[in-house]
Amino acid sequence: MKLSDIQQEVAVFVKTNRLETTVPARVLDLVSEVGEVGKEILKGSDYGHAPFEPTGEWASELGDVLFSLICIANATGVDLAEALQTVLAKYEERIAHKGEAGSGGNMGN
């Protein structure tokens, strides 16, 4: 399934189920869902005392984050496939020039 198809599927789901809300509310939801991913990391690592092992809720929590992110993209007219290609090109350029993908030494920015 292409990313554009997934974005469309989420848009239809949101509309069908009357889940529309504001972009700020979606961003706060995304932050909350990322927090739940963090909680699963704590649980899956015995609160940092053991190597991380994905919990039974791990995939579901990642799915919640993805859903929230797609809702934000849809609400703001962002084509996530295009955005991802732009970011990958940016990272490739950084790697070619600096030997790493991150800005200022941090991975991913």
43-101 per-position pLDDT tens digit: 999 999 999 999 999 999 999 999 999 999 999 999 999 999 999 999 999 999 999 98
Q: In whole angstroms, what is the distance from residue 45 CA to residue 51 CA?
A: 5
The count of other CB atoms within 10 Å of the CB of residue 69 is: 19
What residues are paired with 103 via a beta bridge? 106
Fold of 3-78: Helix Hairpins (1.10.287)
Nearest to 83 by CA among 92, 93, 73, 75: 73
Q: What are 78's two structure tokens?
A: 């962002």
pTM here is: 0.88
- The domain segmentation of the chain, as residue ranges, is 3-78, 80-109
pLDDT category of residue 103 using cuts at 50, 70 and 90: confident
pLDDT at position 90, please?
96
What residues are paired with 106 via a beta bridge? 103
Phi, psi of 72 (to 5 degrees): -65, -45
pLDDT at position 64, please?
98
